[in-house]
Amino acid sequence: DAGVIQSPRHEVTEMGQEVTLRCKPISGHNSLFWYRQTMMRGLELLIYFNNNVPIDDSGMPEDRFSAKMPNASFSTLKIQPSEPRDSAVYFCASTLTLQGLGSGANVLTFGAGSRLTVL
């Protein structure tokens, strides 16, 4: 398996532009997570999906951020309009989440990240 695949790896854009980050989770995983990492705040969970359904988006900073997961193999995180304070590394991660007693280990696998710079 190629692991969690994110694109683009680097994006430099100007304030006000729309940014779309993409993620392909590991095949067979049913949970997908979007994290943001900055020096000041560390790793923050933005949103996560289970079986393509958004479960908790309380970490999404504001309405400028939106995320979708149209199918089990693809997710996007969109920022519109972008601002300099959105500059960060955005990570996508996936895992197989099993419910109920005896649930599996749920090891979280991360992608390499998308480094966003908003000028």
How many chain residues are in contact with another protein, going by CB under 8 A?
Answer: 26
Q: Which of 17, 32, 38, 30 is nearest to 111 (CA)?
A: 32
Closer residue to another protein, CB minimum distance, 16 or 61: 61
CA distances from 79 to 11, 64, 92, 94, 103 (A): 12, 5, 15, 21, 34
Residues 33-72, interacting with another protein (CB under 8 A): 33, 42-43, 45, 48, 50, 55-56
Do 116 and 88 meet the contact criterion of CB atoms below 8 Å apart?
Answer: yes
Closer residue to another protein, CB minimum distance, 33 or 65: 33
Name the minimum Å distance from CB 111 to another protein: 6
Other Cβ atoms within 10 Å of 46 Cβ, number: 19
Residues 80-119, interacting with another protein (CB under 8 A): 91, 93, 97, 99-100, 103, 105-113, 115
**Cα-only R_g, the chain:** 14
Residues engaged in binding another protein (CB under 8 A)? 4, 31, 33, 42-43, 45, 48, 50, 55-56, 91, 93, 97, 99-100, 103, 105-113, 115
